[in-house]
Structure 1
Amino acid sequence: MQTIAVIGYGAVASYVRMAATSSRFRVAAVIGRPGRENAARAVFGEVPFLAEVSRLPVGLDVVVDCAGHAGLRDHGAGVLRRGLPLVTVSIGALADDGLRAELAEAARAGGSRLHLASGAIGALDALSAASAGRLEEVRYTGRKPPSGWAGSPAEKRLDLRNLSEPAVHFDGSARDCALTYPKNANVAASVALAGLGFDRTGARLIADPTTTRNTHEISARGDFGELNFTIAGKGMPDNPKSSALTAMSVVRTILNREERIVFG
Structure 2
Amino acid sequence: MTSIGIIGYGAIARYVARMLADGGLPACAVLARAGSEAPAHAALGLDVVTRAQDLAARAELIVDCAGHAGLAAHGPEILGSGRRLVTLSLGALADAGLMAELERAAARGGGTLHLASGAIGALDALAAGRVGGLERVRYTGTKPPKGWAGSPAEEVLDLAALGQATAHFTGTARAAALAYPKNANVAAAVALAGMGFDATEVQLIADPAATQNTHRIEAIGAFGSLDFRVQGNALPDNPKSSALAAMSAVHALRREAGWMRI
Identify the TM-score tier after normalising by the shorter chain: over 0.9
Give the secondary-structure state (helix, strand or coil) at the position aligned to 1:257.
helix
Residue equivalent to 2:162: 163
Give the secondary-structure state (helix, strand or coil) at the position aligned to 2:17.
helix
Contact preservation (8 Å) 1:215, 1:231 = yes
- Size of the aligned set, in residue pairs, is 262
Amino acid at match of 2:12: V
User: After superposition, where does 1:2-81 map in structure 2 within 5 Å?
Assistant: 2-45=2-45, 47-56=46-55, 58-81=57-80
Give the secondary-structure state (helix, strand or coil) at the position aligned to 2:43.
helix
Distance 2:136 2:253 in 1: 32
CA shift digits 1:37-96 (9 cap, x unpaired): 233133113x22222112226342201100000000000000011111000000000001
Distance 1:226 1:70 in 2: 36
Give the secondary-structure state (helix, strand or coil) at the position aligned to 1:249.
helix
Distance 1:145 1:246 in 2: 18
Q: CA deviation at 1:222?
A: 1.1
Residue equivalent to 2:133: 134
- Please give the root-mean-square deviation of Cα atoms over the aligned residues, in Å: 1.2
Distance 2:112 2:138 in 1: 28
User: After superposition, where does 1:117-156 map in structure 2 within 5 Å?
Assistant: 117-156=116-155
Residue equivalent to 1:116: 115
Contact preservation (8 Å) 1:2, 1:24 = no
Contact preservation (8 Å) 1:175, 1:198 = yes
Distance 1:159 1:37 in 2: 40
Contact preservation (8 Å) 1:174, 1:189 = yes
Distance 1:190 1:63 in 2: 19
Q: Percent identity?
A: 55
CA shift digits 1:84-138 (9 cap, x unpaired): 1000000000001111111111111111200000010000000000111121110
Residue equivalent to 1:214: 213
CA shift digits 1:10-53 (9 cap, x unpaired): 111010111122113222221122222233133113x2222211
Contact preservation (8 Å) 1:24, 1:255 = no
Deviates more, 1:213-222 or 1:103-112: 103-112
Distance 1:184 1:42 in 2: 28
Distance 1:138 1:23 in 2: 36
Task: Give the TM-score normalised by the residue count of structure 2.
Answer: 0.96
Give the secondary-structure state (helix, strand or coil) at the position aligned to 2:182.
coil
Amino acid at match of 1:161: A
Comparing both structures, which one devotes a greater share of its residues to helix? 2
Contact preservation (8 Å) 2:8, 2:31 = yes
Distance 1:33 1:258, change over 3 A: closer
Task: Give the TM-score normalised by the residue count of structure 1.
Answer: 0.96
CA shift digits 1:223-259 (9 cap, x unpaired): 1111100000100001111110111111111111233
Amino acid at match of 2:245: T
Structure 2 residue runs of 5 or longer lacking an equivalent are: none
Distance 2:257 2:11 in 1: 25
Give the secondary-structure state (helix, strand or coil) at the position aligned to 1:56.
helix
